[in-house]
Amino acid sequence: MPQTLTEKILTRASGRPISPGDIVEVNVDLAAFHDLTGYHVIEVMEKMGKVRIWDLDKFVLAFDHLAPPPTERAAEIQVGLRKLAKSLNVKYFHDVGDGILHQLLLEKYALPGQVVMAADSHTTTAGAVGAFAQGLGASDIAAIVITGKTWLMIPEPFKIRLMGRLNPGVYGKDVALHILREFKAEGLSGKSVEFYVDDPSAFPMDYRATVSNMGTEMGADAAMFIPDQETINYIRNTRNLDVKPVTPDLGAKYMDEYDIELSRLEPLVAAPHSVDNVKSISEVEGLDVDYVFIGSCTNGRLSDIEAAAKILKRGKAKARCIAIPASRDVFERALELGYIDILVKAGCVVTYGTCGPCIGGHFGLVGPGEVAVSTSNRNFIGRMGSKEGKVYLANAAVAAATALEGKLADPRKYPS
Ligand SMILES: CC(C)[C@H](C(=O)O)[C@@H](O)C(=O)O
Ligand code: SF4
């Protein structure tokens, strides 16, 4: 039987023939946790009396959520995790400032065809390179880190085909928001979404990562891009590694298929207080905005910083603006290309890879009565700070145009 990408990966990982709905045990190729969930994972491991890592080549730890630590408690947790990482000889440990875990997994570790499991819901981001990547709770991750195995129910494969090219001002974020408008939040639960891109160069890795990242908001078990030339180029450029893509067989059967003509999309926003409350930019244009956040594992990549800089080079931001490249590599590249210089001169506060504002943790929270535009992935009440604040989710160009005007703005007014 011809197999989908999902079936191919999970057949290999479970070592037996599978069908949707089966519950199987799989070998995990890559596991990870961060400072915030790491604390709970270790707690579970301690209770089990097994604080160990099954394979040091397959485990990543990154400090990103409360990094640098904004409280004494967060600092204390990091002291403990750092000591533990040392005593267990953790090979891939990313301390404060290296970046957000999902960006690090994408840039440095995840490979096509792998099973990737981490203690954070946005682990789906690694699906951008064609990995079956899923977020799990602390107890499940503890079991994986000890044994290298987990169990899962085989999801139904669902195919989304991306055709044509995006127009200027429209990005991966708008594809994600379009899908959320069509299928609603959690609308794809129980599905493993496989994205097929007609013209690989029309939808670069950064955009794929945004869509895979928000697969979580769609409720998908996994949101993978079928590996293609773009995947090969990305891994060659970031890691100097040649990979052989794992792809679905011709004639593989999906439970359903959905097509998106990219040229028909326009810049979209998710209005308060739900990720699927999607509106076109023209419906919200002109609304006063107090605060703009450009960053997170959704949209803190080089193409986002570039899109923002190309708009913010026109003048000073009128709204308070915080820009956070998602990793040290993104930051350094943006520095070399002059984007950081532009953002700083436009009056933005710029710092290095942290979740900070996205989760309302630190480094800039939304105040009561404030309206914010954020490139992140969640806008429920209180997510980014005050319960009396409002958050619009958008792409980085919308965010930058909004910062420039102090009002929700259409980036197409600022062609580069
Ligand atoms: C803290 C963590 C458990 C959480 C997640 O899993 O998604 C966070 O990253 C988020 O985005 O809300
Ligand atoms: S950047 Fe935001 S969404 Fe991403 S892992 Fe951090 S808190 Fe979660």
Neighbours of 158 (CB within 10 A): 24
Q: The domain containing residue 348 runs over which residues?
A: 270-413
Same domain, 71 and 189: yes
Report how far ligand 2's centroid is from the alpha carbon of 297 (Å): 6
Gap between the Cα atoms of 261 and 244, Å rounded: 28
With CA atoms as reference, report the closest residue to 101 among 353, 412, 363.
353
Report how far ligand 2's centroid is from the alpha carbon of 100 (Å): 8
C-alpha count within 13 angstroms, C-beta hemisphere, residue 113: 11
Task: Give nearest CA residue, ligand 1 atom 2.
Answer: 120
Same domain, 383 and 366: yes
Tokens of 52: 């160990």
Q: Pick the last residue of a domain from 231, 262, 293.
A: 262
Q: Is the preceding peptide bond at 273 cis, omega within 30 degrees of 0?
A: yes
Report how far ligand 1's centroid is from the alpha carbon of 120 (Å): 5
pLDDT for 22: 97
pLDDT for 65: 98
Same domain, 309 and 230: no
β-pair partners for 268: 280
Task: Give nearest CA residue, ligand 1 atom 9.
Answer: 120
Report how far ligand 1's centroid is from the alpha carbon of 397 (Å): 25
* Ligand 2 touching residue 58 (CB < 6 A): no
Ligand 2 nearest atom to the CA of residue 65, by list position: 6
Same domain, 113 and 154: yes
Q: Are 396 and 308 in contact (CB under 8 A)?
A: yes
Is 358 marked as a binding-site residue? yes
Mutate to test the pocket of ligand 1, among 77, 100, 355, 359 (most ligand atoms within 8 A of CB): 359
**What would the 3-class secondary structure string for the chain be?**
CCCCHHHHHHHHHHCCCCCCCCEEEEECCEEEEEHHHHHHHHHHHHHHCCCCCCCHHHEEEECCCCCCCCCHHHHHHHHHHHHHHHHCCCCEEECCCCECHHHHHHHHHCCCCCEEEECCHHHHHHHHHCCEEEECCHHHHHHHHHHCEEEEECCEEEEEEEECCCCCCCCHHHHHHHHHHHHCCCCCCCEEEEEEECCHHHCCHHHHHHHHHCHHHHCCCEEEECCCHHHHHHHHHHHCCCCCCCCCCCCCCCCEEEEEEHHHCCCEEECCCCCCCEEEHHHHCCCECCEEEECHHHHCCHHHHHHHHHHHCCCCCCCEEEECCCEHHHHHHHHHCCHHHHHHHCCCEECCCCCHHHHCCCCCCECCCCEEEECCCCCCCCCCECCCCEEEECCHHHHHHHHHHCECCCHHHCCC
* Ligand 2 touching residue 351 (CB < 6 A): no
**Residue 200 sits in a domain of what CATH number?**
3.30.499.10
Report how far ligand 2's centroid is from the alpha carbon of 217 (Å): 12
Report helix angle 205-213 to 229-239, nearest 10: 100
Same domain, 358 and 388: yes
Tokens of 251: 């004639």
Same domain, 278 and 227: no
With CA atoms as reference, report the closest residue to 60 among 97, 99, 30.
30
Task: Give nearest CA residue, ligand 1 atom 3.
Answer: 120
Report how far ligand 1's centroid is from the alpha carbon of 104 (Å): 16
ipTM: 0.99
Ligand 1 nearest atom to the CA of residue 383, by list position: 12
Q: Which residue type occupies 313?
A: K
Task: Give nearest CA residue, ligand 1 atom 4.
Answer: 120
With CA atoms as reference, report the closest residue to 359 among 186, 127, 121, 133.
121
Report how far ligand 1's centroid is from the alpha carbon of 65 (Å): 8
Question: Which residues in the chain come in under a pLDDT of 50?
Answer: none
Q: Tell me whether strands 191-197 and 156-163 are parallel, antiparallel or unpaired.
A: parallel
* Ligand 2 touching residue 410 (CB < 6 A): no
Same domain, 231 and 330: no
pLDDT for 416: 84
What are the phi and psi torsion angles at 350 (to 5°)? -120, 135
Q: Pick the last residue of a domain from 212, 231, 262.
A: 262
Is 348 marked as a binding-site residue? no
Ligand 2 nearest atom to the CA of residue 358, by list position: 2
CA torsion, points 49, 52, 58, 62, in degrees to nearest 10?
A: 90
What are the phi and psi torsion angles at 150 (to 5°)? -150, 175
Report how far ligand 1's centroid is from the alpha carbon of 133 (Å): 15
Mutate to test the pocket of ligand 2, among 94, 377, 393 (most ligand atoms within 8 A of CB): 377
Same domain, 159 and 298: no
Same domain, 281 and 176: no
Q: Tell me whether strands 268-270 and 278-280 are parallel, antiparallel or unpaired.
A: antiparallel
* Ligand 1 touching residue 65 (CB < 6 A): yes
How many domains does the chain divide into?
Answer: 2
β-pair partners for 150: 26
Q: Tell me whether strands 291-294 and 320-323 are parallel, antiparallel or unpaired.
A: parallel
Same domain, 280 and 253: no
Q: Pick the last residue of a domain from 193, 228, 262.
A: 262
Mutate to test the pocket of ligand 2, among 34, 173, 330, 358 (most ligand atoms within 8 A of CB): 358
Q: Are 174 and 397 in contact (CB under 8 A)?
A: no
Same domain, 199 and 316: no
Same domain, 190 and 257: yes
pLDDT for 95: 98
Gap between the Cα atoms of 180 and 270, Å rounded: 9
